């Protein structure tokens, strides 16, 4: 069953409306990219779907159960959230940070080791998190979320991974490695939603997309090849786009605003 938001709106105290009457669905066994201009409410939507903030109007449900009715432990077994930046008060080592993903599940050293290996972190297991680059820290966050959802008793998994720009600071090798790992996780039944600014990477790996506009509304959503088109991207980002393929992979490129906008 999906993770769904119905007619949700949100604004911070004394601030403008960030999300306005948003309806969206994160489906299991699929990667959904949340895209849109700066300030469109992408990160806010992800935090609402994770239950870290509450909408001012509307409802969020997981498997037709209101998200706010779940206990923290119940929610932790169903939702893993990754913020844009790691924020820890103490300089824990990498393996300990990854082990935090098991707090709602039984201790399983093998699951932690699998997560470290999955994101090329085994050789950094005893390294303090604060000494790592931002890209390496992003891989640690992903490994922690992977360990959190690695539950043989929940098969197929009834769980979701929500990640805010999870590969933004990674080098190209680890970007591709990470997206391939997320593809594999989705193939087991986990639903994945990720905020993405790299539209070409999203077009290559995501199955679906939610495109937000600057009014905090959904411009369109659906299969990735129907949402990330030059026409819709030109409308939302106010700059022309062209699309193509290189070695069978989709490519989306913005053009200068002086170039005539494509018609399709």
Rounded-to-integer distance, Cα 196 and Cα 205, Å:
11
Burial class (CB in 10 A: 0-12, 13-18, 19+), 24: buried
- Two tokens, residue 241: 């786009």
Q: Which residues contact 211 (CB under 8 A, 6 or more apart)?
A: 35, 36, 218, 219, 220, 221, 227, 228, 232, 233, 236
Q: Within this chain, do residues 33 and 58 fall inside the same structural domain, yes or no?
A: yes
Question: Is 220 contained in some domain?
Answer: yes
| pLDDT score of 263 | 53
Give the CATH number of the domain where residue 35 resides: 3.40.50.300
76 and 164 housed in the same domain = yes
Q: What is the pLDDT along the chain (264 residues), one digit of tens a residue?
A: 799 999 999 998 888 999 999 999 999 999 999 999 999 999 999 999 999 999 999 999 998 999 999 999 999 999 999 998 777 657 899 999 999 999 988 889 999 999 999 999 999 999 999 999 999 999 999 999 999 998 876 766 789 999 999 999 999 999 999 999 999 999 999 999 999 999 999 999 999 999 999 999 999 999 999 999 999 999 999 999 999 999 999 999 999 875 455 555
Instruction: Give the pLDDT of residue 256.
Output: 83
Q: Are residues 174 and 246 in the same domain?
A: no
What does the chain look like in DSSP terms, one character per residue?
--EEEEEEEEE-TTS-EEEEEEEEEE-TTSEEEEE-STTSSHHHHHHHHHTSS--SEEEEEETTEEGGGS-HHHHHTTEEEE-SS---SS--BHHHHHHGGGTTS---HHHHHHHHHHTT-GGGTTSBGGGS-HHHHHHHHHHHHHHHH--TTSSS---EEEEESTTTTS-HHHHHHHHHHHHHHHHTT-EEEEE-S-HHHHHHH-SEEEEE-TTSSEEEEEEHHHHS-HHHHHHHHSS-EEEEEETTEEEEEE--TTSPPP--
Task: Please state, in angstroms and rounded to a whole number, the distance separating the CA atoms of residues 22 and 17.
Answer: 12
Minimal CA–CA distance to 235: which of 263, 196, 194, 207?
263
Predicted pLDDT of residue 107: 85
4/49 Cα distance (integer angstroms)? 8
pLDDT for 91: 81
Closest CA to 208 of 28, 31, 10: 31
Q: Express each pLDDT in 12-35 by its tens digit.
A: 888 899 999 999 999 999 999 999
Domain total in the chain: 2
pLDDT at position 190: 95
Same domain, 249 and 218: no
Whole-model pTM: value is 0.93
Q: What is the pLDDT of residue 158?
A: 84
Q: Are residues 257 and 159 in the same domain?
A: no
Could you tell me if 262 and 167 lie in one domain?
no
Predicted pLDDT of residue 261: 52
Same domain, 264 and 202: no
Task: For residue 131, tell me if it sits in a domain.
Answer: no
Residue 98 within any structural domain of the chain: no
> For the segment 229-255, what is each residue's pLDDT rounded down to a tens digit?
999 999 999 999 999 999 999 999 999
* Residue 149 lies inside a defined structural domain of this protein: no
Asked whether 108 and 102 are in contact (CB, 8 A), the reply is yes
Residue 183 lies in a domain: yes
* 218 and 236 belong to one structural domain: no
Domain that holds residue 216: 3-90+155-225
């Amino acid at each position: 069953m999906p993770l769904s938001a119905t007619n949700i709106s949100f604004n911070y105290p004394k601030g403008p409306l960030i999300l306005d009457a948003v309806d969206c669905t994160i489906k299991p066994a699929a990667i959904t990219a949340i895209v849109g201009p700066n300030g469109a409410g992408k990160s806010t939507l992800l935090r609402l779907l994770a239950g870290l903030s509450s909408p001012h109007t509307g409802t969020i449900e997981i498997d037709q159960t209101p998200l706010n009715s779940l206990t923290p432990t119940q929610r932790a077994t169903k939702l893993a959230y990754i913020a844009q930046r790691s924020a820890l008060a103490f300089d824990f080592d990498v393996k300990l940070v990854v082990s935090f993903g098991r707090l709602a599940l039984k201790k399983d050293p093998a699951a932690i080791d699998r997560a470290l290996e999955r994101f090329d972190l085994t050789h950094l297991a005893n390294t303090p998190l604060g000494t790592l680059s931002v890209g390496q820290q992003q891989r640690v966050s992903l490994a922690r979320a992977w360990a959190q959802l690695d539950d043989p008793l929940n098969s197929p998994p009834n769980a979701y991974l929500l990640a805010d720009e999870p590969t933004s600071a990674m080098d190209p090798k680890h970007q591709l490695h990470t997206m391939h790992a997320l593809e594999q996780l989705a193939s087991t039944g986990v639903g994945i939603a990720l905020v993405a600014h790299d539209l070409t990477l999203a077009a290559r790996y995501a199955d679906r997309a939610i495109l937000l506009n600057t009014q905090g509304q959904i411009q369109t959503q659906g299969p990735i090849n129907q949402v990330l088109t030059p026409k819709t991207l030109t409308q939302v980002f106010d700059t022309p786009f062209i699309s193509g393929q290189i070695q069978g992979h989709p490519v989306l490129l913005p053009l200068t605003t002086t170039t005539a906008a494509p018609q399709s």
